Structure 1
Amino acid sequence: MSPQVQAVALRAILQLPQPLRRLIAGAPIRLDGNELALDAQLLLRLQRMIGHDGLSAPTPEIARAAMVQSNKLMTFNRLGGVSVGERRIPTPSGELAARLYRPAEVAGPGPLLIFYHGGGFVVGDIETHDDACRFLARQAGIRVLSVDYRLAPEHRFPAAFDDALAAFRFAADNAEALGTTPESIAVGGDSAGGNLAAVVSYATRSEEIRPAFQLLVYPAVDATRRRRSRELFGRGFLLTDADIDWFMANYVPEVGERGDHRLSVLLAEDLTGLPPAYVVTAGFDPLRDEGEAYVQRLKESGVPVIDRRFEDLIHGFMNLRQAGGRFQEAMVEIASTLRAGLALRAGRLQDQP
């Protein structure tokens, strides 16, 4: 079946009445006190039917191509109302591609979210996360700068961290040209991108210019320990246990380096002074427990935190928004909370003498 036919068939199935979608998806899946959303279960079932199970592959090139193809299947329309411009970010290791999103109604200076895409530091790019960035920009009413950082194994740890930090500093130095101010720049991302947002926040916590806010969507924050959620959800829920091992083997092959705070920020001794955070986890995600352990560490360190577990969703749901249903609902909530968090942060900064 050609990709075009697959896309048409997928869209038709997603629009079927609920009883038919349940029939295709199978009996409800209940685990650890939660029931998987029908929308998520249906997509997982369809994935397996076309031979997709997990995110890793025999080679990084094959895995990257598979993610691109999967993204095309899930992107039915380009979201309008957002202007998009290509940018280049200079770094000590060369230029990075970037993409700046601006909602049509936003003209003057305002908040900027630097977005780092997910993909285990091995797959993904600014195109695979184009819909998520368009949606965040439009729904939250902010500019978004998506960064195409270097990927492993061609560029291993700490290359992605170095690029993420360089992108933040570039944005701070060029804030006016990007339509913002240095004090109004937030960082965010999903999965590996959530990790990069967290470690950039940690690396700059004592600097004069640091992120105003951090959006961490099902972030990877500890590469040294297997928690209970990885045992529960490590197979059959998109991101697998084998995928996580494969990603780490490509990005940080030296096991002894995996406790470095530039990767495992959960293990950092002192998390005080970090910017306010909005941490999102998914109930059927192998990374759930480490994300929620990070929430607890932040709270214990006096960092303002908004934490939200979408109990019925899976890892990677940001890229499934156009499937509608629970995925769309979750993204609306994330964008609305981000907007409120940035507005609250801006108000507090204005109140300071």
Structure 2
Amino acid sequence: MSEQTVSEARAAFAKMCRMLSKPEPIAKVEERKIPGFQNDIKVRIYTPGQLKSLPVLVYFHGGGWVIGDLDTHDPLCRALANQAECMVVAVDYSLAPESKFPVAVEDAYMALQWAAAQAVGLGGDPTRLAVAGDSAGGNLAAVVCYLTQIRKGAAILYQMLFYPSTGFHYTPSYEEYGEGYHLTKATMKWFRQQYLTEYADTKNPMAAPLLIPKEATPLLPPAYILTAEYDPLRDGGFEYAEKLKKAGVETQYFCYPGMIHGFLNMTEALDDGKKAIADAAKALKDHFAASCR
């Protein structure tokens, strides 16, 4: 991917996702345009059945802040909505390099606030609000949890981070699995070059949640963090889980053996992708149910 143009990389990723994951039926899907940081952005709302006052999950897709869109992650969002029995609001945030950091972060934050404000009208329950994302989307979900604390935004009950990007240092898993396991170290370097403007951005907690200040960390919502064994980002996800645990944040951490980065989008080929989605959906459903007690 690092040798392709941005448009070529986007097209290749979209083709791969269409091949390796298939959408399941769901009761209702609708799209809306909402205000973003610089321009309007799209959201896609998934509603299972005719249930009222559904809990709400705001989802940020992966793709290195450069590739991916609502369609590439449509099957995953449908599965989460159906299995967790919640409304999913998928966010088509602005991509780099057209929109550099922190535009995607601000889009994500604004989309969360929109979802909270519009939840009742959509059939959702704004008091049961969670965020989730994979890879770069997991990065955005984690950062949005931090921003809601410092900006006094909508309360988030739960964060689900699937093989998230949490920092810009190269961990041992980058050296072990940085070549030959789908996501490469070279591709991650290319993503960062597209997304960030200067070296100082790598030290900003809005880009690297591992750098969220110690005093803010205990205030973050409970977390579910999932990583893959053969993934350059594995260690970063583990480090973030440990950071949350040490701060007293209720955190569940899982590393799926034998899996590679992006395996939740490969359910046509990998049964563990289906299992991981089912496990995450159950955890989400249970957490939403516990919040009602």
Task: Give the TM bin, normalised by the shorter chain.
Answer: over 0.9
**Highest CA radius of gyration, 1 or 2?**
1
Q: How many Å separate the matches in 2 of 1:115 and 1:208?
A: 17
**Match for 2:95 among 151, 174, 184?**
151
1:82 touches 1:137 (CA, 8 Å); kept in 2? no
2:184 touches 2:232 (CA, 8 Å); kept in 1? yes
**Match for 1:234 among 178, 194, 199?**
178
- Specify the SS of the correspondent of 2:124: coil
Moved over 4 A (4+): none
Q: How many Å separate the matches in 1 of 2:270 and 2:179?
A: 24
| Counterpart residue number, 2:142 | 198
Give 1:127 shift: 0.4
1:58-115 deviation line (CA, Å, top 9, x unaligned): 211110010111112224x4301331111111134221111000112x4210211000
| Counterpart residue number, 1:79 | 24
| Counterpart residue number, 1:100 | 45
Q: How many Å separate the matches in 2 of 1:303 and 1:276?
A: 6
RMSD: 1.4
2:83 touches 2:282 (CA, 8 Å); kept in 1? yes
- Specify the SS of the correspondent of 1:169: helix
| Counterpart residue number, 2:122 | 178
Q: How many Å separate the matches in 2 of 1:163 and 1:72?
A: 26
- Specify the SS of the correspondent of 1:278: strand
Q: How many Å separate the matches in 1 of 2:220 and 2:206?
A: 15
TM-score by length of 2: 0.95
- The within-5 A match list for 1:1-353 is 55-75=1-21, 77-104=22-49, 106-206=50-150, 207=152, 209-223=154-168, 225-270=169-214, 271-344=217-290, 346-347=291-292, 350=293
Give 1:208 shift: 5.8
1:254-278 deviation line (CA, Å, top 9, x unaligned): 1221110101110122211111111
- Specify the SS of the correspondent of 2:219: coil
TM-score by length of 1: 0.79
Aligned length: 290
Q: Larger strand proportion, structure 1 or 2?
A: 2
Q: How many Å separate the matches in 2 of 1:244 and 1:92?
A: 25
1:168-212 deviation line (CA, Å, top 9, x unaligned): 111111121222232211111000000000000011125262211
Q: How many Å separate the matches in 1 of 2:276 and 2:117?
A: 33
1:111 touches 1:181 (CA, 8 Å); kept in 2? yes
The gaps in structure 1 that reach 5 residues or longer are 1-54
2:37 touches 2:103 (CA, 8 Å); kept in 1? no
Which amino acid counterpart does residue 158 of structure 1 have in structure 2? P
- Specify the SS of the correspondent of 2:218: coil
| Counterpart residue number, 1:6 | none
Q: How many Å separate the matches in 1 of 2:69 and 2:153?
A: 30
Percent identity between the two aligned chains: 39
Which range moves more in the overlay, 315-324 or 127-136? 315-324
Which amino acid counterpart does residue 283 of structure 2 have in structure 1? T
The gaps in structure 2 that reach 5 residues or longer are none
| Counterpart residue number, 1:30 | none
Which range moves more in the overlay, 255-264 or 122-131? 255-264
| Counterpart residue number, 1:42 | none
